[in-house]
């Protein structure tokens, strides 16, 4: 279970998160919706340990481990995965090499045997077929020259390979056409199970037609201002965030 | 499989940040007295039983050297070198060829072991008779000419090479057995008066490699030299001469590690390459000499003159270097493109960390028609390191249709290091085309975070990004070397972030 209590954080002296309380039980998928500037991306970065954010109060734990005391790579090894809103390019670093390095780093951290090149390729090809990704994407530099859709699919491929216990999807739907959106959603839905949970951060309700969440939370002004079932997302779509503000 | 995909294996095997090859072998040495004068030059020449012409050649070089001054233009700083306070000759005491590994000086074997050289190759290196005639399965055969301090201890795969008419031996042996070739080519690319360090080398060079590939022969294996600087205060003055006759092809590897030491050591090598019509020489270096400690104490001074002459039509010389070591690197592997349609290439990765200083680059001198050159330089600065690319592209009036492409990329890690690019372009030919591209970048915070979010440690992430940055150069290295080079990049940058 991901447990966040009274979390406050600032960047460059400006308070962005003003007391987040949130619980995502194992096996559930929760959506966080909110207008631009509400703190959605900040929350995902604070949970995954990006530098530059100062935690000023509160706590966050995953499966009882104090997330905020861990290095980003330790959080990754503990099973936390962040699908980036803007996946980063690594020129000259082959995608296959990157994926295998990451996978083996995590396997090492868990005390599992590393995969050799052949084992890895077999696994990667299998997962790529499921995501309708052309095989040459393994040979290209990480995200270099990828279209927006390809970058997002590459994030989902990484998730499928790394098999996290909790995935945070930071506006993974932005810039995707409907076909790519379905592929991404299929990738997430395929992970669904009693040992997997996810925090799907999105601006629009569209993605939630394909990844149906167990709970929906509305993040505004650095706080969760409303929570409900999947129907909350549809209400928001119909009446906008203004209705929440008014409430 | 591209070399870069092997990063994980090499990254995984690197655990310690201290200089891995810092040890010293205790082997009985034979020294010339300290200092440098005409008598020392005569001593070295006599010790090596050299013909009169070579002694005269050395003495001329020595006389020239005395009139020359150390170059001051490189962007490197170091205290004055006392050339009288060093030994110029040290040789392991040589016994006749051992019959088996049991007869080889165990200290020498231990040195090889620490360098990670497999037992079979140790036997070859130590000159055990009959060793190394059949290369192990699945491995590219590599012939090794080990320079252990100043004298080549052993030369391998001789039999197989001899069948092809290839000469691969120490330059001392070549002087004895092939004096006509040595006399014809020695100093023909880098003359004695070329520069201060080349003159010094010409006067006191002790050993090095000699390669001759006869007409039309494609050398069946990579030729390789392990350099080790081993005796206290012994300057190393290697002299390497490689000649590829018409239509010949050869790939030569030079790999270096040195024991850790407190005082600075001077190294002034000269490498001369000659390629005749349709010949091709590929010269690859991984340089990992002791760079000094974190405070900049100790470390090797590496003042090297490397130059290749594409004398023949359609000849080709390609330099690939990965420079991770040395306190100071002063090195400009160059090509003189004399033959029409000849090709020169320079691929370089230079890393400076802590207090390391590197002033390195290349010179491409276009003399012949339709000559082409490519320069890809990747400079990486970390810590307080200073990295300068200095290059000259010179196109003479007769080099019609000449082309050059230069790309210089610098990567900065941290905020106390420096990267400098000093490209000189002299074009005296209207039909020539010269292109220069340069970039400077930092390892971005978002790249590091992206890697770490996927489970990589910060240092592994830096290693991966740096290897990616260097990919265009690393892919030019022979496979076995590429793996070693990636490992070195990683080791060299340990402790540079965070």
- Region of poorest pLDDT, from B191-195, B340-344, B356-360: B356-360
Find the closest chain A residue to B451 by CA distance. Answer: A102
Would you say the C-alpha torsion B22, B26, B31, B34 has a positive or negative sign?
positive
Q: Which residues does residue A9 pair with via DSSP β-bridges, in sequence order?
A: A17, A55
Is any Cβ of chain B less than 8 angstroms from the Cβ of A226?
Answer: no
Check residue A110 and give its pLDDT.
Answer: 85
Q: Name every chain B residue with its beta carbon within 8 A of the beta carbon of A87.
A: 450
Q: Check pLDDT > 60 for residue B146.
A: no
Q: Is A48 on the interface with B (CB under 8 A)?
A: yes
Q: How far is A98 from chain B (nearest CA, A)?
A: 8
**How does pLDDT run across A35-56, given as a tens digit for each residue?**
888 899 999 999 999 999 999 9
Q: Which residues from chain A sit within 8 angstroms of residue B458, using beta carbons?
A: 73
**Helix, strand, or coil (residue B161):** helix
Region B334-362: what's the mean pLDDT?
91
- B43 vs B343, residue with greater confidence: B343
Place B101 in a pLDDT band, splitting at 50, 70 and 90.
low
Identify which of B445, B447, B452 has the shortest CB distance to residue A73: B452
Token pair 């002459």 in the structure block, residue: B309
pLDDT at B128: 52
Which of B11-15, B48-52, B106-110, B200-204 has the lowest average pLDDT?
B11-15
DSSP letters for A68-120? GGS-HHHHHHTTEEEE-SSPPPEEEEEHHHHHHHHHHHHHHHTTPPPP-HHHH
Chain A residues in contact with B472 (beta carbon < 8 A) = 92
Q: How many CA atoms lie within 13 A of A19 on its CB side?
A: 1
pLDDT surpasses 90 at B220: no
Instruction: State the smallest CA–CA distance between residue A87 and chain B in angstroms.
Output: 8
A159: region left, alpha or beta (phi > 0 left; psi from -120 to 50 alpha): alpha
Nearest Cβ partner of A109 from B455, B467, B471? B455
Distance from CA of B484 to the nearest CA of A (A): 17
Q: B488 or A202: whose pLDDT is higher?
A: A202
* pLDDT, position B122: 56
Task: Give me the count of residues in chain A.
Answer: 247
A46 vs B: CB within 8 A: no
* CA distance linking residue A57 with residue A17, whole number of Å: 10
Tell me the pLDDT of chain B averaged across its residues.
79
Q: What tokens appear for B313 in the block?
A: 């039509």
Nearest Cα of chain B lies from the Cα of A49 at a distance, in angstroms, of 8
Give me the residues paired with residue B287 across strands. B256, B323
Q: Does B464 touch chain A (CB under 8 A)?
A: yes
Q: Which residue has the higher pLDDT, B78 or B496?
A: B78
B446 touches chain A (CB under 8 A): yes
Q: Out of A88-102, B83-97, B125-139, give the one with best mean pLDDT.
A: A88-102
What's the average model confidence in pLDDT over A16-26? 94
Q: Which residues in B lie closer than 8 A to residue A51 (C-beta atoms)? A: 445, 449
pLDDT band at residue B92 using 50, 70 and 90 as cut-offs: low
Interface test with A, best of B454, B457, B462, B498 (most A CBs within 10 A): B454
Maximum average pLDDT range among A107-111, A170-174, B343-347 = B343-347
Mutate to test the interface with A, among B8, B378, B407, B458 (most CBs of A within 10 A): B8
Minimum-distance CB partner of A50 among B449, B454, B469: B449
Q: Which has the higher per-residue pLDDT, A102 or B155? A: A102
Q: Quick check: B454 and A105 CB within 8 A?
A: yes
Of B4, B447, B449, the CB nearest to A72: B449
CB contact under 8 A, A97 and B4: yes
For B198-210, the pLDDT digits (tens) are 999 999 998 788 9
% of chain A residues with pLDDT over 90: 61
User: Which residue from B286, B145, B163 is spatially nearest to B226, judged by alpha carbons?
Assistant: B145
Higher pLDDT, B260 or A73: A73
Is B8 in contact with A72 (Cβ distance < 8 A)?
A: no
More confidently predicted of B5 and A61: A61
Of A81, A92, A101, the CB nearest to B456: A101
B311-327 confidence digits (pLDDT tens): 999 999 999 998 887 78
A167 pLDDT tier (thresholds 50, 70, 90): very high
Do A92 and B470 count as a contact with CB atoms less than 8 A apart? yes
Pairwise CA distance, residues B260 & B492, whole Å = 14
Give residue-wise pLDDT tens across range B431-457.
Answer: 999 999 988 888 888 999 999 999 999
Calculate how close chain A gets to B441, using CA atoms only, in Å.
12
Give the chain B residue whose CA is nearest to the CA of A159. B454
Question: Between chains, do B469 and A92 touch, taking CB under 8 Å as contact?
Answer: yes
Q: Which pLDDT does position B460 carry in this prediction? A: 86
Question: Hey, which residues does A191 pair with through a beta bridge?
Answer: none
Q: Do A73 and B455 touch (CB under 8 A)?
A: yes
| Terminal CA-CA length for chain A | 30
Q: Which of B455, B464, B465 sits opposite A76 (nearest CB)?
A: B455
The answer to whether residues B271 and B300 touch, using CB atoms and an 8 Å cutoff, is no
Q: Give mean pLDDT, residues B5-25.
A: 41
Residue B426 has pLDDT above 90, yes or no: yes
- Judged by average pLDDT, the poorest of A152-166, A176-190, B78-92 is B78-92
Q: Is B450 in contact with A84 (Cβ distance < 8 A)?
A: yes
Residue A184 has pLDDT above 50, yes or no: yes
Whether B455 sits inside 8 A of A97 (CB atoms) is: no
- Comparison of pLDDT for A178 and A218, the residue scoring more: A218
CA distance A219 to A217: 6
Q: Which tokens belong to B404?
A: 């050059």
What does the pLDDT read at residue B235? 53
Q: Which of B2, B12, B457 sits opposite A94 (nearest CB)?
A: B2
| Interchain contact, B452 vs A71, CB within 8 Å | yes
Higher pLDDT, B3 or A94: A94
- The conformation of residue A47, written as its DSSP 8-state character, comes to H
**Chain B interface includes A212 (CB < 8 A):** no
Nearest-Cα distance to chain B for A84, in Å, is 8
In this predicted structure, the answer to whether residue B412 has a pLDDT above a threshold of 90 is no
Which residues of chain B does A114 touch, with a Cβ-Cβ cutoff of 8 Å?
8, 12
Interchain contact A52–B (C-beta under 8 A)? yes
Per-residue pLDDT at B306: 95
Dist CA A32 CA A203 (whole Å): 8
pLDDT tier at B33, thresholds 50, 70, 90: confident
Q: Are the C-beta atoms of residues B238 and B147 closer than 8 Å to each other?
A: yes
A84/B455 Cβ within 8 A: no
Q: What local confidence, expressed as pLDDT, does residue A242 receive?
A: 77
pLDDT of residue B28: 53
The string of pLDDT tens digits covering residues B469-496 is 888 888 888 776 777 777 777 767 766 6
Tell the burial category of A239 from Cβ atoms under 10 Å away from its Cβ (0-12, 13-18, 19+).
exposed
Is A97 in contact with B5 (Cβ distance < 8 A)? Answer: yes
Region B337-353: mean pLDDT is 93
Of residues B234 and B26, the one with the higher pLDDT is B26
Confidence label for B89 from pLDDT (cuts 50, 70 and 90): confident
Q: Which residue of B has its CA nearest to A82?
A: B453
Q: Give the pLDDT score at B15.
A: 28
Residues facing B243 on adjacent strands = B212, B274
**How far apart are the C-alpha atoms of A7 and A5, rounded to whole Å?**
5
Residue B498 reports pLDDT greater than 60: no
- What's the confidence (pLDDT) of residue A193? 92
User: Is B453's CB within 8 Å of A117's CB?
Assistant: no
Within 10 A of A63 (CB to CB), how many other CB atoms are there? 14
Residue with more model confidence, A242 or A157: A157
Q: Which chain B positions have a beta carbon within 8 Å of A100's beta carbon?
A: 5, 8
What would the pLDDT profile of A59-101 be if each residue is shown by its tens digit?
A: 999 999 999 999 999 999 999 999 999 999 998 899 999 999 9
Q: What is the pLDDT of residue B386?
A: 85
Which stretch of A17-26, B118-127, B147-156 has the lowest confidence by average pLDDT?
B147-156
pLDDT category, B416, cuts 50, 70, 90?
confident
pLDDT at B226 over 70: no
* A158 — pLDDT class (breaks 50, 70, 90): very high
pLDDT of residue B295: 76
Residue bearing the bigger pLDDT, A190 or B14: A190
Q: Is the pLDDT of residue B111 over 60?
A: no
ipTM of predicted complex = 0.95
Query: Is the CB of residue B456 less than 8 Å away from at least one CB of chain A?
Result: yes
A145 Cβ under 8 Å from any chain B Cβ: no
φ/ψ bin of B16: left (φ > 0), alpha (ψ from -120 to 50), beta (otherwise): beta
Task: Name the closest residue on chain B to residue A107, using Cα atoms.
Answer: B455
Share above pLDDT 90 across residues of chain B, in percent, rounded to a whole number: 37
């Amino acid at each position: 279970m991901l447990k966040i209590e009274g979390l406050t954080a600032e960047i460059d002296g400006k308070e962005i998160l003003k007391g987040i309380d949130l619980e995502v039980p194992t096996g559930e998928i929760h959506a966080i919706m909110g207008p631009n500037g509400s703190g959605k991306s900040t929350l995902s970065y604070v949970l995954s340990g990006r530098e530059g954010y100062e935690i000023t109060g509160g706590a966050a734990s995953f499966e009882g481990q104090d997330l905020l005391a861990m290095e980003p790579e330790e959080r990754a090894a503990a099973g936390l995965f962040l699908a980036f809103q803007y996946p980063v390019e690594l020129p000259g670093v082959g995608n296959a090499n990157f994926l295998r390095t990451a996978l083996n780093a995590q396997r090492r951290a868990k005390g599992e045997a590393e995969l050799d090149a052949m084992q890895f390729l077999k696994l990667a090809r299998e997962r790529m077929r499921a995501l309708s990704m052309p095989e040459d994407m393994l040979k290209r530099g990480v995200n270099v020259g990828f279209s927006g859709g390809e970058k997002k699919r590459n994030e989902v491929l990484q998730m499928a390979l790394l098999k996290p216990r909790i995935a945070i999807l930071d506006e993974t739907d932005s810039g995707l056409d409907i076909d790519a959106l379905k592929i991404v959603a299929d990738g997430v839905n395929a992970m669904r199970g009693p040992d997997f949970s996810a925090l799907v951060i999105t601006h629009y309700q569209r993605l939630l037609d394909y990844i149906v969440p167990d709970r929906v939370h509305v993040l505004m002004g650095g706080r969760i201002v409303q929570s409900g079932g999947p129907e909350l997302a549809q209400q928001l779509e119909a009446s906008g965030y203004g209705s929440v503000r008014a409430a | 499989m591209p070399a870069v995909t092997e990063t994980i294996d090499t990254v995984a095997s690197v655990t310690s940040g201290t200089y891995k090859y810092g040890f010293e072998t205790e082997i009985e040495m034979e020294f010339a007295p300290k200092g440098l004068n005409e008598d020392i030059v005569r001593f070295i020449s006599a010790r090596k039983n050299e013909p009169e012409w070579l002694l005269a050649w050395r003495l001329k070089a020595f006389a020239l050297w005395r009139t020359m001054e150390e170059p001051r233009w490189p962007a490197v700083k170091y205290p004055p070198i006392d050339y009288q306070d060093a030994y110029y000759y040290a040789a392991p005491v040589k016994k006749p060829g051992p019959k088996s590994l049991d007869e080889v000086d165990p200290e020498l074997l231990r040195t090889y072991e620490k360098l990670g050289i497999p037992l079979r190759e140790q036997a070859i290196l130590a000159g055990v008779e009959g060793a190394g005639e059949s290369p192990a399965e699945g491995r590219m055969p590599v012939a090794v000419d080990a320079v252990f301090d100043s004298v080549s201890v052993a030369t391998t795969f001789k039999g197989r090479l001899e069948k092809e008419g290839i000469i691969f031996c120490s330059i001392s042996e070549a002087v004895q057995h092939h004096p006509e070739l040595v006399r014809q080519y020695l100093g023909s690319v880098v003359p004695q008066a070329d520069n201060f360090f080349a003159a010094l080398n010409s006067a006191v060079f002790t050993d090095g490699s000699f390669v001759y590939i006869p007409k039309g022969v494609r050398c069946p294996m990579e030729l390789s030299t392990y350099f080790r600087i081993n005796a206290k205060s012994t300057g190393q003055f290697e002299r390497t001469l490689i000649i590829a006759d018409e239509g010949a092809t050869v790939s030569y590897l030079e790999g270096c590690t040195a024991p850790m030491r407190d005082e600075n050591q001077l190294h002034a090598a000269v490498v001369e390459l000659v390629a005749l019509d349709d010949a091709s020489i590929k010269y690859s270096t991984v340089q990992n000499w002791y760079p000094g400690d974190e405070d900049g104490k100790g470390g090797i001074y590496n003042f090297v003159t490397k130059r290749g002459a594409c004398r023949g039509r359609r000849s080709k010389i390609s330099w690939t270097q990965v420079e991770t070591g040395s306190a100071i690197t002063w090195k400009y592997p160059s090509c003189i493109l004399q033959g029409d349609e000849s090709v020169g290439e320079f691929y370089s990765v230079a890393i400076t960390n802590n207090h390391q200083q590197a002033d390195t680059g290349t010179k491409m001198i276009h003399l012949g028609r339709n000559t082409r050159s490519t320069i890809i330089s990747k400079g990486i600065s970390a810590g307080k390191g200073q990295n300068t690319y200095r290059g000259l592209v010179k196109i003479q009036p007769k080099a019609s249709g000449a082309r050059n492409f230069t790309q210089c990329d610098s990567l900065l890690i941290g905020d106390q290091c420096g990267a400098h690019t000093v490209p000189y372009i002299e074009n005296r030919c209207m039909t020539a085309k010269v292109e220069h591209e340069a970039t400077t970048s930092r390892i971005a915070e978002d790249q590091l975070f992206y890697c770490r979010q996927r489970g990589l440690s910060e240092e592994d992430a830096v290693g991966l990004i740096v290897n990616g940055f260097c990919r265009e150069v690393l892919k030019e290295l022979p496979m076995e070397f590429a793996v070693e080079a990636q490992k070195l990049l990683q080791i060299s940058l340990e402790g540079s972030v965070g």
